[in-house]
Amino acid sequence: MTMTSSGPSPQPRSWRPSDSLPSSSRPRSNGDTQASSPPQDATEPAASTAAALEIRGITKCFGRFPALTNVSLQAREKEFLALLGPSGSGKTTLLRVLAGLEQPGEGEVRFDGEDFLSLPVRRRRVGMVFQHYALFRHMTVTQNIAFGLSVRPRREKPAKSEIDARVADLLALVQLDGLGKRFPSQLSGGQRQRVALARALAIEPRMLLLDEPFGALDAQVRRELRRWLRELHDRAGVTTVFVTHDQEEALDLADRVAILRDGELVQVGSPAEVYEAPADAFVYDFLGSACRLPGAVADGRLALAGWETKAPAGAPKGPVEVFFRPNEVAFAPPRGAGVPVTVTQVSRRGPELYIEGVAQDRLLCLEARRDSLSVSPEPGAVLRIRPTNPAVYPAG
């Protein structure tokens, strides 16, 4: 489905190639055993950059079920913003509010200062791409891409030559040159999704909304399309809101990530910020593989199964839950200080080891290189580990 606009632009968009793509790599731990606690997070873009999209206090209920509760969020002009959360978190509902497919019970949405909710859908100039393509099977690729332009009222419709030129530009942009005469059934899943994106861009939208666009594709195709989608966004120069439940996808693609849970906004930040400094235990656990053990904080020290390290500034006192990533551990000598882990299973993939073990009646899944261990991690062996970058949250 593609939202149409109220009138054509005077000339086709000039697609601007990007000199380089923004880095999506996350800074990693430096191996220091100093624990860290997540800082306060801001939900607004940097003051130096104008906000194009402003979402204020959006609340939406379906019957008695609160799908969204007082959600406030901003996106900068030309920003790639990911809405991330588990099923039922409200991310797709928020996207549908932006598209005009749902009306909120409370709150407001402004785009470039304009009251977005008061505009009819076709005047919002929003392009939307769904998970299952929604292409017209009886139309060729060219006809699908041109659809949003060809159905405009006569006084608003561009000339046929302009439509043809725009479609040709878009076919080149999405790397489907020469496939304009094919039908959707003659394309692969990845190619169909590129057609859906080209169709959404054909109307020159002010905002592009993507609802899990890779959800129907296999894992390898999804990975191949990620970098392409990011480059497409940079070339098109359009504010993009991207819904996904795939943490890796959001962290790889987005400029900023907004994490929702049960209809509420939990944290907003750059991929590095939300990954390295999660706002709470839910975000930490949701954003990647995590090990979790009970501990305690007292007198500035973090105690964990008989092993101690300095507690982070501001860490909660008393019983805590300690989180760390499977690869963020140092292995102590057999008689050294550390958390004892009884090995239950080991998998080897080249120089990498994937170790399952039990500590304090909790199952841990650890990652290590063979040369980092002083003992053979066979089932029944006891390893001692020291989390190198633990995050501490109140117990319960």
Q: For residue 225, give every residue at least 6 positions away whose Cβ sits within 8 Å of its Cβ, in sequence order, or none.
A: 190, 193, 194, 214, 217
Q: Is the pLDDT of residue 162 over 60?
A: yes
If one compares 100 and 133, the residue with the highest pLDDT of the two is 100
Which has more pLDDT, 38 or 165? 165
Q: Is 3.40.605.10 the CATH number for 51-279? A: no
The answer to whether the CB of 343 falls within 8 A of the CB of 382 is yes
Q: Give me the amino acid identity at 288.
A: G
**pLDDT digits over 120-157, tens only?**
888 888 998 887 778 899 999 999 999 988 888 888 88
Query: Span 289-394: which CATH code?
Result: 2.40.50.140
Look at residues 270, 387, 371 and name the one whose alpha carbon lies nearest to residue 329. 387
Q: Closest Cα partner for 40 from 247, 278, 250, 321? A: 278
pLDDT > 70 in the chain, percent: 87
pLDDT at 89 over 50: yes
With H, G, I as helix, E, B as strand and everything else as coil, classify residue 251.
helix
Residue 129 · residue 210 · CB < 8 Å: yes
Per-residue model confidence (pLDDT) at position 45: 55
The total of other beta-carbon atoms located within 10 Å of residue 64's CB is 5
Record the pTM: 0.80
330-349 tens-digit pLDDT: 998 878 899 999 999 999 98
The pLDDT of 344-373, averaged and rounded, is 91
pLDDT at residue 278 greater than cutoff 60: yes
Q: Is the CB of residue 35 less than 8 Å from the CB of residue 311?
A: yes
With a CB cutoff of 8 Å and minimum separation 6, the contacts of 56 are 72, 107, 108, 109, 110
- Domain locations in the chain? 51-279, 289-394
